[in-house]
Structure 1
Amino acid sequence: MKHLEETKKLLHKSSYFYIITAGMDGNYSYVNQHYADQFAYVHKKLEGQPYHITMHPDDCETCREVSEKCFANPGILFPATIRKHDGKGGYLYTQWEYRAMFDEDGTPAGIFCLGYNITEFVADRLLLNGARNEIREKAGLLNKVAFQQSHLIRAPLTNILSLAAILEKRTDDKQLLSLCHMILDNALRLDREIKGMVGDISSAQ
C-alpha cells in the first residue's frame, strides 16, 4: 500500500492523469484533483459516492470483470476503457489500469485506478477508419472501372481494329480504303486513351 500512497501524492495535482481508489463497498475512497475537477458536475465531493455515478451504465460490468481479475492476480495491472459522462449529454472515453489493493494482513482493501482521457484519440481513430473505408470503396470502384475499360471495352475495340485491317487488305476501292484508314486511326486513338486511363487508375491506387 505504501507505493500506492506515494503515487497518489505524486500525481494528486496532475493535469493529465486521473487517480482514483474505490473501497470494497464500491464507493470512492480517493480521487485526485484532476478527476475531482473533471467530474465536479456529477458531485462536488466524490469520496463516499458510488464509483459508477460518473460512468456509462454499460461499462459497470467491465469494471466488475477487471476488478475480479485484479484480486485473482495480486500485483498485476489490468487495462479497461471506460466511458464517462461529459456533462453535456455525451461521454468521454477514458483509459485505465486497475490494480487490487490489500491491507497489511493481505485482506482485499479495494481497487487502485490510474487513467487518462482518450476522447480525442478515439475520435481521430473513428475518422481514420472512416477514411480507410472510403478509400477501400473508391479503390473497388476504380478496379471495376479499370476492368470494364480493359476487358469489356477493349475486347470489341480489338475486333474492330482487326476487321478494319482485314477489310483494308481486301479492297482496292479508294473510298472504302479511306474509310478503313479513318476507322483504324480513330480506333487506335481510342485504344491509346483507354490504355492511358487504365494506367492512371492503376497508378492512383
Structure 2
Amino acid sequence: MMNYFEETKKLLNNSVLFYLITTGMDGKYSYINGHYAKEFSHINNNFVGQPYHITMHPDDMNTCVEVSMKCFENPDKLFPATIRKHDGSGGYVYTQWEYKAMFDDQKNPTGIFCLGYNITKYVAEELELQIAQEEIEKNSVTMEKIIFQQSHLIRAPLSNIIGLTGILDKTLLDSNTSNICDMILESSNQLDEVIRSIVNIART
C-alpha cells in the first residue's frame, strides 16, 4: 500500500495541475508536491510538520475531519471534499480533493493521502450561470405577465371599442361622424394586429 503512494508521489511531484499532499495521524503535513508548495507559499515556506488546517477556511476544517473519518471507515474508497484555501489577498481559492486513508504493511493507519486541484474558475462560472438562469427565470415571469396583459387586459377593452364602433357605424349618423367611426375602427383593428404580433413574438 505504501509503495503505491510513494510511486504516485514520484509521478505527481512536479505536476503543474494537481496538488498532492499527505498528512500524518497527528494532523500535520508529512508531504506536499511542488505545485502545492508554489501555490500556497504565501502561507508557509515549508509545510511539512505544520498543522493541515493552516491553509484553509476555518469553516472547512470539519469537512476534512468528517471526510478523513470516512476514509478510515472505508479503506478501499476515495472520498471527495471541497476546501477553500487562503489566496494571500484576504480571499479564498476553491479546491476540489479526493481523500484516501493510508496504512502500513501491518494495516495500521498512517495518515491521509489527498489529491486535489483548483476549481475557483469553475465555481465562478457556476455562479455566473446561476445568476444568468435566475435572470432568465425572472424575465420569463415578466414576459408571461406582459403576454397576459396584452392578451387579456388590453385586447378585451380594445375588442369592445371595435364592436361598439361597428354598431355606431350602422346607425343613422351623418357622413362626418360615420367617417370618424370608420377611422376609429380602422385604427382599432391596426392596434389589435400590433398587439397580436407582440404576443406572438413574446411566445416564441
TM-score of the pair, normalised by structure 2: 0.97
Q: Which residue of 2 aligns with 1:77?
A: 78
Q: CA deviation at 1:172?
A: 4.8
Runs of 5+ unmatched residues, structure 1: none
Q: Which residue of 1 aligns with 2:87?
A: 86
Q: Which amino acid aligns with 1:37?
A: K
Q: Which residue of 2 aligns with 1:107?
A: 108
Distance in 2 (alpha carbons) for counterparts of 1:160 and 1:181: 12
Distance in 2 (alpha carbons) for counterparts of 1:157 and 1:47: 79
Distance in 2 (alpha carbons) for counterparts of 1:155 and 1:194: 11
Q: Which residue of 2 aligns with 1:160?
A: 161
Q: Which residue of 2 aligns with 1:117?
A: 118
Q: Which amino acid aligns with 2:83?
A: I
Q: Which residue of 1 aligns with 2:182?
A: 181
Distance in 2 (alpha carbons) for counterparts of 1:67 and 1:30: 17
Tell me, what secondary structure is at the counterpart of 2:98?
A: strand
Q: Which residue of 2 aligns with 1:132?
A: 133
Q: CA deviation at 1:58?
A: 0.3
Distance in 1 (alpha carbons) for counterparts of 2:4 and 2:20: 14
Q: CA deviation at 1:173?
A: 2.8
Q: Which residue of 2 aligns with 1:199?
A: 200
Runs of 5+ unmatched residues, structure 2: none
1:43 aligns with 2:41: no
Distance in 2 (alpha carbons) for counterparts of 1:33 and 1:171: 97
Tell me, what secondary structure is at the counterpart of 1:111?
A: strand
Q: Which residue of 2 aligns with 1:66?
A: 67
- Structure 1 stretch displaced more, 68-77 or 163-172: 163-172
Q: CA deviation at 1:175?
A: 2.2
Tell me, what secondary structure is at the counterpart of 1:101?
A: strand
Distance in 2 (alpha carbons) for counterparts of 1:175 and 1:44: 95
Distance in 2 (alpha carbons) for counterparts of 1:58 and 1:172: 83
1:96 aligns with 2:97: yes
Q: Which amino acid aligns with 2:101?
A: A
Distance in 1 (alpha carbons) for counterparts of 2:173 and 2:68: 93
Distance in 2 (alpha carbons) for counterparts of 1:51 and 1:124: 28
Number of residues of Structure 1 aligned to a counterpart in Structure 2: 203
Give the alignment of 1:9-24 within 5 angstroms. Answer: 9-24=10-25
Q: Which amino acid aligns with 1:29?
A: S
Deviations 1:165-196 (A, max 9, x none): 11222225322321221111010011011111
Distance in 2 (alpha carbons) for counterparts of 1:170 and 1:109: 101
Distance in 2 (alpha carbons) for counterparts of 1:129 and 1:68: 33
Deviations 1:48-104 (A, max 9, x none): 000000000000000000001000001100000000000010000000000000111
TM-score of the pair, normalised by structure 1: 0.96
**Superposition CA RMSD, Å:** 1.0
Q: CA deviation at 1:126?
A: 0.8
Give the alignment of 1:133-148 within 5 angstroms. Answer: 133-148=134-149
